[in-house]
Chains A and B, each alone.
Chain A
């Protein structure tokens, strides 16, 4: 609480007592904003009139270079400047402070995946139903029977799954 107040106060204080420092910043921000609005207007005109020249993509390239450059330099600088002291405890996997043991790569049964896959199948089928239900009246008899046929194929698949004992987990 105290820290927060002090922080905000100090900024106000600086702004009041030292105007020469704050004003150039404001000017820069103002110009940036102006430039930005200018850019936005140009961009919208460009999109509306659909005239592109290669130079219009320059900001994109600069942005890309800045993004990758920032990532690269930060990684590089932290590696160069930071101290590098490796101890055995430091390199170990950290798990809530408990000492780790054994190998994490042990096989375990994933019977649930079958149910998950079958669920996805029937879930997708439900998605087909929404547009069909909305247009049911316009589609008429033909649309109705097409959907019945589709359902019939699905039901055949469902019967096959049941007969194949895909839902019996304990086997």
Chain B
């Protein structure tokens, strides 16, 4: 809770600091605020309290996810330093909006009431609509922003309708009270309640870009500035999954037989279609968008399973996925700055020209694929284990098959990285970049060697 206050103050301070000339002041304020918020979040560990008439509930689940997204944002701030070199005119606003979106994410992980959840989703989404269009002169960026805004508000309307229907049936917004309502009225739950659950799931699946609600994702990922894309692929996804799992577990776990069928189909489609669609992509950002959708499918497996192992598996997966994604997008950002292109072909020889960056890039891609010694392997392992514990065998088989397919498109990039190409130049890394890459790659290896410490938290 204290971290939310600190983050709000940081955001407002950033806005005012933007009126000055120095860009590094902004950077320092942002980093300091995020570190303070992270420490305060860690101090909440072990607490179990309900605030504002049970609208916000702080427990280990929310604390762990909050720390995860604050840490991710910190890493994104570190790799944002090349925005500073390019002297972006609206840097303060970009930073501040990112912090405000992060506050929305923190609310989404710790809601106890569907109104708070709605508020969190909106606080997360509205800054993102603006951020997606933050490169004002680029048509692609404007298109991304507009598309995201129109489709996002549509999904929000769906979500609200779902909340309204559930309120109409049960007479409460509180997730635990909805759960007890289901237990008390098992035989006589009205039809609008079931409709409400479906519409709620549709609204939330849009935010995490699950197929068939994914159409915005590749276009927005490609059009938005790479920094914003990184934020969308990591923080938004983590917060979205934390929210969807918390909602389904706290409110609707007694009706799991009913919604598991729907989620099963969504998961199946997400796993299959995204893997097949990613095969033919030539642009890195578009490929990463499909990879993100595919990863959504894997995390949905743990949501679908809904047992005591799920929270740990989701936390582990989102965390390792965020680490890998940050490195990949950081590299794309650097590369784009020097060559102006993000196609896979333009990466040929990148690894030979910059051996250290190449090795880190390869490590991140291996982690995303799920090769042992990296965190990605255990992430996928625990996800499959969780699903098998709830007797979802066939969908796990599909999941393993899509993992095998995913090797093709991830290794296509690795192949391009280490090809012989004399045209590539050495790209210097500035210190914040180095720090972010170092921390992320060390954590990828550490989570691969000692996964128990993270998985046992929840």
Contact = CB atoms under 8 A, between A and B. Distances in A.
A156 B12 contact: yes
B19 A164 contact: yes
Contacts of A164: 19
A155 to B, nearest CB: 12
Interface string A142-171: 000000000000001000100110000000
B83 to A, nearest CB: 20
Contacts of B19: 163-164
Contacts of B272: none
A146 B129 CA distance: 30
Contacts of B12: 156
B457 to A, nearest CB: 35
Contacts of A160: 15-16
A163 B129 CA distance: 24
A41 B12 CA distance: 61
- For chain B, give the interface size range: under 10
A156 B14 CA distance: 13
Interface in A90-144: none
Contacts, number: 6
Contacts of A163: 16, 19
A101 to B, nearest CB: 30
B406 to A, nearest CB: 45
- For chain A, give the interface size range: under 10
Interface string B18-36: 0100000000000000000
Interface in B1-47: 12, 15-16, 19
B29 to A, nearest CB: 15
B173 to A, nearest CB: 21
A156 B15 CA distance: 10
Contacts of B16: 160, 163
B94 to A, nearest CB: 15
B134 to A, nearest CB: 16
A164 B15 CA distance: 10
Nearest to A163: B19
A75 to B, nearest CB: 30
Nearest to B8: A153
Nearest to B15: A160
Nearest to A164: B19
A164 B20 CA distance: 11
B129 to A, nearest CB: 15
A163 B12 CA distance: 14
A118 B12 CA distance: 18
A5 to B, nearest CB: 57
A164 B16 CA distance: 9
A126 B364 CA distance: 52
Contacts of B15: 160
A156 B19 CA distance: 14
Interface in B100-140: none
A105 to B, nearest CB: 17
Contacts of A156: 12
A163 B17 CA distance: 11
B313 to A, nearest CB: 39
Nearest to B12: A156
B450 to A, nearest CB: 44
A163 B15 CA distance: 11
A89 to B, nearest CB: 39
Interface string B320-356: 0000000000000000000000000000000000000
A160 B15 CA distance: 8
Interface string B225-264: 0000000000000000000000000000000000000000
A160 B13 CA distance: 10
A149 B12 CA distance: 15
A150 to B, nearest CB: 13
A162 to B, nearest CB: 11
A118 to B, nearest CB: 15
A26 to B, nearest CB: 47
B430 to A, nearest CB: 29
6 contacts: A156-B12, A160-B15, A160-B16, A163-B16, A163-B19, A164-B19
Interface of A: 156, 160, 163-164
Nearest 6 CB-CB pairs, A to B?
Answer: A163-B19, A160-B15, A156-B12, A160-B16, A164-B19, A163-B16
